[in-house]
Structure 1
Amino acid sequence: MAPAINKHCDTLDLIRALAAAAVCVSHIRALLFVDYRAGLHLGLIGQAFYFLSNYGHTAVTVFFVLSGYFVGGTVIRQVAAGTWSWQRYLGERLSRLWIVLIPALILTLFWDRMGLATIGGPFYLGTEGNFDQRVNVAAQLGHATLFCNVAFLQTLYCGTYGSNGPLWSLANEFWYYLWFPACYVLVGRRRMLQGLVVLGLALGSMVLFQPLLNGFVLWLLGALIAWIEKRIPRRAWRSRYPVSTWVSGVLFLVALAATRWQKEWADEWTVGFACFAFIACVLREDVRLRSPRLSRLAIAFSGFSYSLYLTHFPFVLFLIATMIGHRIQPDGYGALVFIALLAACYVYAYAVYFLFERNTRRVQRLIQQFHPFGTKPEAETAGRVGS
């Protein structure tokens, strides 16, 4: 008999950790360095840096596919096992999102108020010229915007809170979390009237929030992987030589490169479908990281990727605006500053993770004591978000 397969795949942790790093690197580069343009004297290394550090938005597409696999997979498994409960599901998802979001919003207020009080200027007025910070931060720090972001309505009825532009994707995630089970649970449940009411509400919100639908299709690609995996268990897919993983991995890299070179046809859809194929092949052939050290690093950095995503921007904006005050050239000095800022972001994000995110399961267990949902939260990384 073949040995049981550990469902946790550290290769997916590596993908998520790299996607989070891509977002952070992209934002630091845009805030710190002058824009890439003709006449900017760069060597081969400098050109490669500008090329590779421009994948922040693309990385969110990867997060959507991963989120669809993990969170959509949770729904699929619970419906199949007959343990599905809206109460349990919403308790897990909301606690997972809010345990970092609420501290992130408070920290955004702190850093933005500190920056406005000490330096202000173009970085906080949105007039400095960089692509990633183009709003008047002071105008986005009101109570209405705060509660709008807590309710996951940013980009729909309000802007993102303060300078924290990366919060835009959290609205997508939250509504995808609702839309998918509203549609899927109806298929596997007998209480048709209740299911139809929930489905009607979901479809109504889809009409209201049409800008989110493109990302939802990408999210569904991840859920499709989980659905296929449920029908064909991973043990039956095992392959000694991961040929399809290598081929799909190369195609995924080609798709990523094409978004820089062939923008007329290569977009988030190209990356999304290539990512879908790559992740499906990784799981199909059960590809794991061979180096134990790399595996530990991937799991560790993936573990606080959500905290990194939600907290880094106001923090690094404050540091650059107050300590440097303007964008600089990508020379040797700039490289040292960039590395220092990146390291500071990771230390800061880990501190937020240590105080808040790592307690997610504990909070969910406390919620269950007041609302017995019947089963414990799933032990795998199903709740991890990709924005």
Structure 2
Amino acid sequence: MAPSGKPHCDTFDLIRALAAGTVCVSHLRNLMFADYHANAGIGLAAKAFYFVSNYGHTAVIVFFLLSGYFVGGSVLRQSAAGTWSWPRYLTERLSRLWVVLIPALLLTLFWDRMGIALAGGPFYLGTEGTFDQQINVVSHLGQATFACNLVFLQTLACGTYGSNGPLWSLANEFWYYLWFPACFVLLRQRRGIRAFAAAAFAVGTMVAFPSLLSGFGLWLLGVLLVVLEQRFPARSARTGWPWFTLASGAALLAALVCSRLFLLANDWIVGVPCFAFLHCILWENVRLRPALLSRIAIRFSGFSYSLYLTHFSFILFVAAVGVGRRIPFDGHGALVFAGMLVLCYAYAYAVYLLFEQNTRRVQRGLQQLRFLGIRPDSPAPHSPSRGGIG
């Protein structure tokens, strides 16, 4: 990494792309390969693979921080400029989420129904032994569960739809998107009864959904990154290495290792060092070099949301129909892993081209609907290609 005058933080794009890949790798390993203890006499390389390939949940923490930075930061900036409004914000956020979520739910239905019809068995009954799939998928494919996931109440009022367990974090993101502006706008602007009603709704749902509060704290750390960025502007120039970024990165790496070695389940153990690392990247103005790496990071970050929402049911289908059982991670297993990973990325990129890539087009179309009360010339609060999971 190297400093440059690029205003866009492609380093964050790289982190987002790696986080999405980490989630995919974790699920691929758990669904297709036997557990570590079932692989007797495996070599050092396989042991290393099992150690580093189980950070899927940790990657979601990174998504929360990035989401707070981009989405929460847009609320701060537009509120300060007097351009923020609920109609535009909700239209941008909901269209961004639904443009991929609706196809993802339908694809989950397709792959799960196909898998149940062609193979069925332990993978879809939740009895194969994998930690990531322990439910009877058929019982989660009803219309009520579909609708519940569509309005972001999964894990709160229903289960996640079908086999698509990663949908749990989308409920977190949605409610954080509502909670922060509802409280911030009241404190910042105090715009009458509507602002008080929105804040009361936010506090009421916080009380109703206490399981989301810890993640909301991590999300707010992402907002704090924006505040610190404004208080302590990035260095315009420097010579030598970005020592603070390297030191905070080392601390984050140590936290990641310790969380695996000692089975530390508290998300803040990784969340706080990650916050420090992201802040140092911004403060030392660290950007990617060479330009090819920057372009790759931006490209892979661009469809990370599609990858996150669509990979699980696809992998489960291949594991159940194409393989039939979890296999050991040996030489053949490594080839299967590499091939499946490439296939997952190709599949997610196709979904991106069909749906996610058109997010801005959908949003511009919605801006033309006068009953929404959106001014087309207002700046969008959040670029569709950046942010957290969504």
Q: TM-score per shorter chain, which class?
A: over 0.9
Residues 63 and 387 in structure 2, CA contact (< 8 A), matched pair in contact too: no
Q: What's 2:285 paired with?
A: 286
Amino acid at match of 2:322: M
Residues 31 and 132 in structure 1, CA contact (< 8 A), matched pair in contact too: yes
Task: After superposition, give the CA deviation of every residue in 1:237-259 in whole Å (9 maximum; x if it has no partner).
Answer: x5444111010011111111110
Amino acid at match of 1:133: Q
Q: Distance in 2 between matches of 1:116 and 1:322?
A: 9
- C-alpha displacement of 1:378: 4.8
Q: What's 1:276 paired with?
A: 275
Q: Distance in 1 between matches of 2:44 and 2:383?
A: 42
- C-alpha displacement of 1:377: 1.6
Give the 3-state SS of the residue equivalent to 1:37 in structure 2.
helix
Q: What's 2:119 paired with?
A: 119
Residues 315 and 344 in structure 2, CA contact (< 8 A), matched pair in contact too: yes
Q: Distance in 2 between matches of 1:256 and 1:49?
A: 15
Q: What's 2:189 paired with?
A: 189
Give the 3-state SS of the residue equivalent to 2:158 in structure 1.
coil
Q: Distance in 2 between matches of 1:107 and 1:383?
A: 24
Amino acid at match of 1:65: L
Residues 108 and 313 in structure 2, CA contact (< 8 A), matched pair in contact too: yes
Amino acid at match of 1:163: S
- C-alpha displacement of 1:320: 1.0
Residues 96 and 383 in structure 1, CA contact (< 8 A), matched pair in contact too: no
- Taking structure 1 as the reference length, the TM-score comes to 0.95
Q: Distance in 1 between matches of 2:328 and 2:219?
A: 38
Is residue 2:233 matched to residue 1:233?
yes
Is residue 2:320 matched to residue 1:321?
yes
Residues 74 and 382 in structure 1, CA contact (< 8 A), matched pair in contact too: no
Q: What's 2:253 paired with?
A: 253
Equivalent runs, 1:90-109 vs 2, <5 Å = 90-109=90-109
Q: 1:39 to 1:296 in 2, by over 3 A?
A: closer
Is residue 2:311 matched to residue 1:308?
no
Give structure 2 stretches of 5+ with no counterpart: none
- C-alpha displacement of 1:7: 2.9
Q: 1:359 to 1:39 in 2, by over 3 A?
A: closer
Q: Distance in 2 between matches of 1:353 and 1:39?
A: 36
Task: After superposition, give the CA deviation of every residue in 1:132-176 in whole Å (9 maximum; x if it has no partner).
Answer: 000100000000000000000000000000000000000000000
Q: What's 2:160 paired with?
A: 160
Amino acid at match of 2:56: G
Is residue 2:42 matched to residue 1:42?
yes
Give the 3-state SS of the residue equivalent to 1:227 in structure 2.
helix
Give structure 1 stretches of 5+ with no counterpart: none
Is residue 2:389 matched to residue 1:386?
yes
Equivalent runs, 1:57-206 vs 2, <5 Å = 57-206=57-206
Amino acid at match of 2:27: H
- C-alpha displacement of 1:189: 1.1
Amino acid at match of 2:308: Y
Equivalent runs, 1:348-367 vs 2, <5 Å = 348-367=347-366
Residues 306 and 384 in structure 1, CA contact (< 8 A), matched pair in contact too: no
Q: What's 1:295 paired with?
A: 294
- C-alpha displacement of 1:268: 1.2
Amino acid at match of 1:375: S
Amino acid at match of 1:211: S
Identity value in percent: 62
- C-alpha displacement of 1:351: 0.3
**What is the total number of aligned residue pairs between the two structures?**
383
Deviates more, 1:82-91 or 1:223-232: 223-232
- C-alpha displacement of 1:376: 3.3
Task: After superposition, give the CA deviation of every residue in 1:329-373 in whole Å (9 maximum; x if it has no partner).
Answer: 111111111111111100000000000101111111111111433
Q: What's 1:375 paired with?
A: 378
Q: 1:110 to 1:219 in 2, by over 3 A?
A: same
Amino acid at match of 2:119: I
Q: Distance in 1 between matches of 2:149 and 2:325?
A: 29
Q: Distance in 1 between matches of 2:274 and 2:48?
A: 22
Q: 1:313 to 1:38 in 2, by over 3 A?
A: closer
Q: 1:139 to 1:38 in 2, by over 3 A?
A: closer
Q: 1:38 to 1:318 in 2, by over 3 A?
A: closer
- Taking structure 2 as the reference length, the TM-score comes to 0.95
Residues 70 and 384 in structure 1, CA contact (< 8 A), matched pair in contact too: yes
- C-alpha displacement of 1:5: 4.6
